[in-house]
Amino acid sequence: MSRVLVTGGASGIGLATAQLLLDDGAEVVSLDRRESPLDGVRSVVADVTDAAALASAADEIGPGLDGLVCAAGIWDVEGDGSPSRLSLEVWERTLAVNLTGTMLTVRAFVDGLADDGAIVTIGSVAALSAMPGRDAYTATKGAITALTRAWAIDYSRRGIRVNCVCPGPTQTPMIEELLRVAAEQDRTIGLPQQRVAEAPEIASVIAFLLSPAASYVSGQILAVDGGATAALAGLPFPRRRPREA
């Protein structure tokens, strides 16, 4: 039976991944700032921005992990924006959770990962195509894709595979506000399939990348977005300001 650690495992894509892995017979450990709501999942309460807490969690969990899923992340809908509007506080918090938190997680747990194990990071379609007004989030997710490729090379000598899943808009608490505003304005969000993903749809791809079926897949950045990054038509573009005389 495989043993997998999922950060951000108490909600959203992390929760869906923990549930799917549990259903498939894996031993699942959830690391989150909250207890996991799932029966049968071991909960470790810690913050991915706290290096000391992650080190203690690694000691508590011990070696012998077969998989590591870095699903903890935030998206500050209220505060993010272009550099002229983006506060330093929001920038630093977003980098701390999404980017530094992913790095600290891998640093804390990779030594306890079995040779021939697998790591899955979570990027975003924002890392693959521009998302106006979400600079901090976009920067962190782009950096995660770059780190994924670097780690795939760094850990290949141990047989560890590292891949990144880049979800499109997904029905999770993190984007509920975005979906609510879109519904109030009676508009879609420009997706080819005219719907957002369900979290289990993303989880199934993560589970595949952790599995022996993906034994020769490493260093890949995989968009799971219903074709969004393949499409130009229908995407919103800001209106250009008229040139001053």
Which residues are identified as catalytic?
137
Q: Provide the edge-to-edge strand list for the sheet that holds 27-32.
A: 42-45, 27-32, 3-7, 65-70, 113-122, 161-167, 221-224
The span from the CA of 153 to the CA of 226, in Å, is 29
Give the alpha-carbon dihedral of 227, 146, 144, 231, to 10 degrees.
-10
Residues 6 or more apart in contact with residue 1 via CB below 8 angstroms: 25, 26, 27
Amino acid residing at 4: V
